[in-house]
Amino acid sequence: MLTPWSDMTIMSQMMSPGSLRRKPLDRAQRRAWRTHQKLLDASLEMFNQKGIDATSIQDITERADVGKGTFYRHFADKDEVKQELVAKAVDNLVGRLGNQTSQWASLPEAVEGLLRAHLEFFRDCPGQFAMLFQDRMLMGPHQPKPDELAGPYLKYLSQVQDRLAGLAGKAADPVRIRLFTHAIAGFISGNYSFAMVGLSEEDVRTQLEPFRRGFVAAAANYLSDDGTGTATAASPIGATNN
């Protein structure tokens, strides 16, 4: 029988850097892992449905169909759930940014590539996108980041900066990077939400193409050293670079 906190120990072991080299999980560990994931999924769903502050631990356990005691064997409190969800979502998004080519020939190409990666994240993982951006978990427009989210937030900003490295001197300015990421998230949230109300992906792409091109041009201009970036978007958002 698992003792209190033992499930949390199992989770930390399985998520540690050397976890892939460990022996296969036994039945109890696999059951604990599934329960942990069920609690995370339920939390993400409730956070997006009710808001993080309004969601109670009881809301989470009822959605996951487990008891409160089970919750506390996996998490110390709701903040710990929030931190793990944010870390997992950022890892997902950063992985997509890392898959973008670093051989862009111009700043507009880089901006477009970053926009494409964020849009894919929005399409594939709407719950994670909503938690990070629409609920302002990853970024707020005027306040510093809470200490517990500083690591994932800085990891995300660093990846964006790396994608822009060498193309615009002022792209290294943390204020510009932060405002640029706000703009990407806001553009997607404010425009591509149409995809959620019955429009086909092709219809959304066609109708929003002029706005997308304008966004890429404006963002490249903002990030350029002299503020007059040669910003013309070359390809539709659905296209891929060769």
Here the CATH number for the domain that contains residue 67 is: 1.10.10.60
- For 76-94, the pLDDT digits (tens) are 999 999 999 999 999 999 9
Same domain, 131 and 218: yes
Same domain, 49 and 110: no
Q: Does the pLDDT at position 192 exceed 90? A: no
| Cβ atoms of residues 92 and 125 within 8 Å | yes
Residue 110 forms part of a structural domain: yes
| Cβ atoms of residues 170 and 225 within 8 Å | yes
Same domain, 62 and 100: no
> How confident is residue 136, by pLDDT bands cut at 50, 70 and 90?
low
- What number is the average pLDDT over the span 194-208? 71
Same domain, 170 and 195: yes
- Tokens 């594939």 identify what position? 124
The count of domains in the chain is: 2
Q: Which of 44, 76, 108 is where one domain is finished?
A: 76
Q: Cα dihedral angle (93, 199, 215, 89), rounded to 10 degrees?
A: -10
Q: Residues, the chain, total?
A: 242
Residue closest to 107 by CA, chosen among 220, 217, 232, 227: 220
Residue 23 forms part of a structural domain: yes
| Cβ atoms of residues 64 and 41 within 8 Å | yes
Task: Quote the domain boundaries for residue 45.
Answer: 6-76
Residue 177 forms part of a structural domain: yes
Same domain, 40 and 153: no
Residue 20 forms part of a structural domain: yes
Same domain, 30 and 95: no
Same domain, 184 and 111: yes
Q: 238: left (phi > 0), else alpha (psi -120 to 50), else beta?
A: alpha
Residue 19 forms part of a structural domain: yes
pLDDT top residue among 213 and 231: 213
Amino acid (one-letter) located at 223 = L
State residue 2's pLDDT score. Answer: 39
Six token digits for residue 91: 């890892």
Residue closest to 27 by CA, chosen among 47, 5, 10: 10
State residue 229's pLDDT score. Answer: 44
Residue closest to 132 by CA, chosen among 197, 71, 182, 77: 182
Same domain, 32 and 107: no
Q: Does the pLDDT at position 142 exceed 80? A: no
| Cβ atoms of residues 135 and 86 within 8 Å | no
Residue closest to 75 by CA, chosen among 8, 149, 148: 8
Same domain, 54 and 90: no
Alpha helices in 5-133 (DSSP H): 6-14, 27-50, 57-64, 68-74, 78-98, 107-124, 126-129
pLDDT top residue among 133 and 237: 133
pLDDT top residue among 136 and 240: 136
pLDDT top residue among 144 and 23: 23
- For 156-168, the pLDDT digits (tens) are 999 898 888 778 6
Residue 10 forms part of a structural domain: yes
Lowest mean pLDDT among 114-128, 192-206, 228-242: 228-242
Same domain, 24 and 142: no
- What number is the average pLDDT over the span 118-124? 92
